[in-house]
Structure formats: C-alpha cells, structure tokens
Amino acid sequence: MWRLDRKVNLEKEVSVYSESERLPIGRKISRLGKVIAKDRYLYLLALPGIIYFLIFKYVPMAGILIAFQDYSPYLGFAESSWVGFEHFKRLFVNPDFWLLLRNTLAISFLNLLLFFPLPIILAILMNELQSQFYKRTVQSIIYLPHFLSWVIIATLTFMLLSRSEGIVNQLLEFFGFEKIDFLTNPSIFWLLLTSQSIWKEAGWGTIIFLAAIAGVNSQLYEAAKIDGANRFRQIWHVTLPAIRNVIIILFILRLGDIMEVGFEQVFLMYNGAVSEVAEVFDTYVYRVGIQQGQFSFSTAIGLFKSLVGLILVVVANKMAKKFGEEGIY
C-alpha cells in the first residue's frame, strides 16, 4: 500500500512539473511572482545576502577574461590583446610551479588531517557536558580567538616563540635547555601554521556540529541506553551517524578550498629562512601580480586554483552520492 501511494504521489509530481514546463513564459513569470509575493518577507530578509553575493562574487567574475589577455589598465578589457592560454602555459612551465603546488597542498592536507576533525571532537565533548554554565563558559572561551585578526595571532606567535624574546625559549633557557628556532625552522613551519589555524578557528567550527547534534532525536539515546550502550557507544552508534551527512557536506566544501591556504596568515609568518616551504600560490600572486603588475598572469593562477577546487568538489560529491550520502547537490 505504501509503495502504491508513493507511486501515485510521484506521478502527481511529474504531471505538475510537466504541466509547468508547457506553460508559456508569461504564465511562468506570473506564477513565480505569486510565489515571491507569498513569501515576500523571507525574500526581503535574504535580499542583503543576495546583493552581497551579486556585487562581490558574481560581478567580479567578468574579470576572469583578463587571464586570456595581455591586459593593460590603460587599454582596458576591450582594447587589450588576446593571448589565449599563454599565461597558463607560462604557469605550468615555471620552475616555481611544483614548489608552489607542493607547499599549498601540504598545508591544506595538514589542515584536513589535523584541523578538520577537531571541531567535531570538541562539539561531541561539549555536548557530553552536564553543567550548562560550564558548557557555555567553555564555548565562549574557545570562540574568542576567531574574532582576533591574523595580525594579532602572528604577534602572539612571535611573542611566544621568538628565539631572542619569546617566552617559550626564555623558559627553556631558564631550565637549562637550548633555545629552539621555531619561526625560522623550515621543518616545522607547516605544523606551525596548522597549529595557529587550530587555535584560532577550531572553537568557532563547533557551532555547526553542535547545532547538528542538538537535532538528534533523544529517543535514539534512550533506546541505546536500554540496549546497554555506554556513553562512548552512544556517541559511536547514535551521534556520529546522525551528523555524518553534515560532516560529509563540510568536508566536500573544504575540498573546494584546498588551494586556498590563507594569504594573510602565510604572509605574516613568511621570512627568508622558510621561503622554500612558505611560498604558496597566494603569496606568489601577491608578489608577481600586485607588486610587479602582472595582472593577467596572476588572474590565470587564480582561475587555475578555482578549477582545481571545482573538480575536487564535483568528484567528491559524486563519490558521496555513490556511497548513499546526500552530498551538496
């Protein structure tokens, strides 16, 4: 009976959809206007966000054209000569390309490996706290670093880890140990960046996961208790499966930013001693595109990064669909 009712409902949906497809354009616009008028306050609430994305995200996409031009600010889009894929060829044959790719991917993969799971763990641990006062206090404390700029984070890092004046090295010297070059040691630079990201953003990242956990049906936990499951088993068999779709969606979105490692953070921590491991696409675009005025070449680099992110999102979403998850579209 359930399958028969489901089939009838699907046939009705298909018939309504087919009917709407056969309507003339004028009727479609009229129907769309009625829908908007019905929920006008919701659309009005979303209007500032829509305007923001239109102005700052979609309109600037027209600038992608200069990646295929020998762009000159004096000639503009219309008068600048077209060069096709010359800037992309120059990027791929550039001896610095593989260095930039290695550093960018290494930092991104460390963030995926160490930073991405931490907000999930923190959200689960905070959800297990019984005292609401203690829970809210912990939330407030771990949220605070998110509101600090990277300039402040870099300054705090220098104050803590500087070889000459850093508190950590002064303590090491006081207890008879040798000082450590934290800021000029290439072998730990990637871990240093990852540690900064964890300290600044891990607490803020728990918001989405705490909201997802709050939506879990409490009866599932009660049923697990009846079956003899302890708190760890309840987390493993109830909490994690319930928020699995949220985790997968955020992971897919994070893959889309795999070529973005944060210009400001890397730029502030950059120094000559770590240049071999600190030079990434973002800093290279600044140095070549902004300082040297090679706008077309830097735009080609940005377009390459965006295409890599798009491909990873599409592939990851298809893999998620293949394994029965919802994905992002």
> For residue 312, which of 255, 248, 261 has the smallest C-alpha distance?
255
Q: What are phi and psi for residue 70, nearest 5 degrees?
A: -95, 75
Q: pLDDT category, 282, cuts 50, 70, 90?
A: very high
Cα angle value 29/35/37 (rounded, 5°): 100
CA dist., res. 101 & res. 228, Å (int): 50
pLDDT at 15 over 60: no
> What pLDDT does residue 13 have?
44
> What pLDDT does residue 148 have?
93
Query: Looking at the domain assignment, is residue 43 inside a domain?
Result: no
Q: Which amino acid is at 49?
A: G
Contact between 193 and 265 under an 8 Å Cβ cutoff? The reply is yes
> What pLDDT does residue 149 have?
93
Q: pLDDT category, 18, cuts 50, 70, 90?
A: very low
Query: Looking at the domain assignment, is residue 329 inside a domain?
Result: no
Query: Looking at the domain assignment, is residue 9 inside a domain?
Result: no
Query: Looking at the domain assignment, is residue 45 inside a domain?
Result: no
Mean pLDDT calculated for residue range 63-80: 87
Query: Looking at the domain assignment, is residue 69 inside a domain?
Result: no
Q: What is the pTM of this model?
A: 0.83
pLDDT, averaged across the chain: 87
CA dist., res. 283 & res. 43, Å (int): 39
> For residue 261, which of 153, 152, 115, 107 has the smallest C-alpha distance?
107
CA dist., res. 30 & res. 24, Å (int): 10
Contact between 104 and 304 under an 8 Å Cβ cutoff? The reply is no
CB atoms within 10 A of CB 270: 16
Could you tell me the CATH number of the domain that includes residue 184? Answer: 1.10.3720.10
Q: Residue 162: give the domain boundaries.
A: 85-322
Pick the more confident residue, 36 or 238: 238
Mean pLDDT calculated for residue range 50-72: 90
CA dist., res. 84 & res. 88, Å (int): 9
> What pLDDT does residue 202 have?
93
pLDDT at 1 over 50: no
Task: Convert the pLDDT of each residue in 149-163 to its tens digit.
Answer: 999 999 999 999 998
Query: Looking at the domain assignment, is residue 73 inside a domain?
Result: no
> What pLDDT does residue 26 have?
66
The string of DSSP codes covering 263-292 is HHHHHHH--GGGHHHH--HHHHHIIIIISS
> What pLDDT does residue 327 have?
80
Cα dihedral 160, 165, 168, 174 in deg (nearest 10): -160
Q: Which amino acid is at 138?
A: V
pLDDT at 268 over 60: yes
Place of tokens 């290279």: 284
Contact between 115 and 193 under an 8 Å Cβ cutoff? The reply is no
pLDDT at 2 over 60: no
Phi-psi region of 23 (alpha: psi -120 to 50; beta: other; left: phi over 0): beta
The percent of residues above 90 in pLDDT, for the chain, comes to: 56
> What pLDDT does residue 142 have?
92
pLDDT at 189 over 70: yes
Contact between 216 and 242 under an 8 Å Cβ cutoff? The reply is yes
Query: Looking at the domain assignment, is residue 6 inside a domain?
Result: no
pLDDT at 242 over 70: yes
Q: pLDDT category, 33, cuts 50, 70, 90?
A: confident
Contact between 168 and 156 under an 8 Å Cβ cutoff? The reply is no
pLDDT at 16 over 60: no
Task: Convert the pLDDT of each residue in 200-235 to its tens digit.
Answer: 999 999 999 999 999 898 898 889 888 888 889 999
For the chain, the domain total comes to: 1
pLDDT at 249 over 70: yes
CA dist., res. 167 & res. 127, Å (int): 35
Among 29-38, 81-90, 284-293, which stretch is predicted with the lowest mean pLDDT?
A: 29-38
With 0-12 / 13-18 / 19 or more C-beta atoms within 10 angstroms meaning exposed / middle / buried, residue 199 is middle
* Count of all residues that appear for the chain in the document: 329
Query: Looking at the domain assignment, is residue 59 inside a domain?
Result: no
CB atoms within 10 A of CB 86: 16
> What pLDDT does residue 24 have?
65
pLDDT at 133 over 80: yes
CA dist., res. 20 & res. 30, Å (int): 12
